[in-house]
Chains A and B, each alone.
Chain A
Amino acid sequence: MTLSRSPSPHPGGGWSSPGLVPASGTVSPNGPSPGSISPGTPGSISWAAAKAKSDEVRGYPSFSTRNGGFFSRQRHQISTRFHSVRRFSSREYVDKDDFGREWKRSGSGCGLLGALRIPVRRGRFRLLLALLLVWIGYLFCWTSIIQTYRRSPIGGGNKFVIILGSNVEGGVMEWKGAREWAIERNSIWNKQRYAQNWGYELELANLLAKKRYSHEWRESWEKGDVIREAMRKYPDAEWFWWLDLNTWVMEYDTSLQHHLFNDLESHVYRDITAYNPLNITHPLPEFWLDELGRSLEGDGKADSLNMLLTQDCAGFNLGSFFVRRSDWTDRLLDTWWDPVMYEQMHMEWEHKEQDALEYIYQSQPWVRSGVGFLPQRSINAFPPGACGDGDNPVIHYEQNAHDLLVNMAGCMFGRDCWSEIYYYRELSNWLGRSGWERFRDGVTDVYDRMTGKVRDEDD
C-alpha cells in the first residue's frame, strides 16, 4: 500500500480506498470471487450479484454529479448495512451482496487508519486534512449552497413563483374532511419540495369563498386577483405558475428553465388550429385588423409570449398555466372579469373563469398574440378518468416520458381525489429513486424473478 493511493474522499464516492478495494475506479471487480465468499450459491446468482455490484461501483461517478440527496443516500447505505448484518443468516443472497459491501467498508476503514498511523510528511498531512474538511463541508452544505445559487439572480430561480390555490372555498360550501386536509397537506408539501429544490418562490393562495361584490360569487376569478397580489409581493419574479390544489409535481429534478423557458419558442405553439377542440376561428378574418391581429402565429417572438397554457379535450385548461409579468398580463387579468359580461354569461359560463378566458381569447384580437399553447403533457398531464380512460398519448400522463406534472382535473366529480394524489405521490417517489435505491430494487427484482423461476421449476 502506497500513500499516493491513500483514501481520497471524492465527493459521492464514500470511503472506498482505492488501494484496498479491488473493485475501484474504472476497473471492474475481479477480486474475491463471489463463490468464495458464500459457497454453495448457484453459480448464476453469484454471477448476477457480481455483475450488479460492478454496475454499482461503476455507477458511483454519476452519483457525484447529482446534486441533491447525497447525504441521505450515504445515511441510507449505513442503515442498510446494519440491516443486512441482522439478516445475515436468514437470506443468503442478500447477505452475500451486502457482505461484499461490508468487507469493502471495513477495508477502507483500515486504509484510513493506516494512513493516519504511518508517519507522513507534514504537507501531505495538511492536504489530507484540507480535503477532509472540504468533504465534510460538501456533505453538510452542498445542498444549501446549490439551492442558494439557484435562488439567486444568477441561478434564475427567483424569476419564478409558483402559486398554489389552496383551501378552496375554505369549507364554506362543503365540509372539509380528513381526506381534504390530507390532499391539502400533501399537495403543499409537494410544491414546497419542488420550489425549494430549484429556488423558486411558493405562494399559497387562500381561496376562501367570499362575496367580492354585493351580488356575485366570483370565486373562480379570484385567480386573477391572487396572481396580481403575488406580482406585487415578488417584484423580481417574471413568470408566475398557477397550480390547482389537485396537482402533483412528478419530477423534482426537472427545472422549469430546462424544461421550458431556456428555449420557449420551440415548445410553444401559437396557431390554435394545431389542436382546436373549441373550433375557434383562427386566424381572425376581419379585414380591418392589422397584420398582428390577423396573423397565424402572433409576431413569432418569444418576448411577446405572456401566457402559456394547455388545452385538454374540452378546451382551455387553467389547472396549470403560466403568466409573465407585463402590461399585457395586467390588462388580461383586469378585463378577465367584467360585470357586464358576467351578468350576461354567468349562466352559460359553466367553468367560470376558464370559459371567460376562452371567450376573451375569441372576441378580443389583442389577446391572441400574447397567448402561447403548450402540449398538454408538458405541464398539465391528466390521469386516466379525465378526458378518457388514459389511452390518449396527447392528454394522459406517461411515466416513461417523465411528464412534469399530473393534474387530477375533475377528480371531485365522481372520482377519488385523495387516492389519485396518493397514487401519483408514490409513483413520483418511485420514479425519483436515488441510484442506490434503483440498484437495490433492480436486484430485488432479479432475485424475485429468480426465486419465482425456481419455484416454477419446483412445481
Chain B
Amino acid sequence: MNKLSVRVIDILESIDTLEVPLGDSELHFKRDEIIKEIIIPKEFNTVWYLDDGKVLDIQCVIDTSHVNGSIKIISSMNNNLLFHLGISNEGDSRIDLINQVVGDNNNSEIQVRVVSKSDCKIFLKATGYLIDNTHNNTYLEDIKYLNEYPSSITCLPELIVLSDDVSASHNMTVGSISEEELFYLESRGISSDKAREMIRNSFLLSMKRREVSDE
C-alpha cells in the first residue's frame, strides 16, 4: 500500500489553506491541521502552488511500492520554502520532483532522503526549474540515499536555470548505515532489525529545521 504523509509548518501563519491534489483525493491544509496522511495511487501527479509570501516547512514522507509519481511545486513571489521529501521504497518506483520558480525573491531548499526497504530500484528525477526574467532567487537541492540492501538508485538531479540573477546548487550523497550507530543501539538491548528500522526512520525524517526568529 502506498502512503503519503505530509506535515506543513506554516512559520508565518501565511496560509489559510493549502490544497494538495492527489489523483482522486485532495489534501486541504488549514492553519490548525499540520499533519495529513493519505493512501496514494500507483500513479500520481500533484501540483502545489505557493502564490505569494509563504514561509513554509513542508515534510513529506512517501511509502512507495512500485509507484510512478510526480510532485511539482510552483513558487510565485517572495516565498521561503523548506521542502523535505523522504522516500521509503520497496519495489521498482519512479518519482519526479519538480520545483519551478516563476517569480522573484524566492528561497527554495529541497531535501530528499531515500531509503530502500528491500532489494529494489528507484529512479529519482529532481528538477529545479528557474525561468527567464526572474530575479533574486536562491535554490538548493540536497539528495541523500541510504543504501542498505543490494538495491539501486538512479538519480538525475537537474538544474534548468534560464535567469542570470539566481544562486542555485545541488548535491547528492550515498551512504550506508553506520556500524557504530547500529552497535550502539544493539548494545542497549535493541535487536538488529529494530535498530536498523530506527536508523532508517530517523534518516527519512531528518529534516534540518530552520530556526524560527521572533522578529
A, B assembled together: no
A residues sitting closer than 8 Å to B (CB atoms) are none
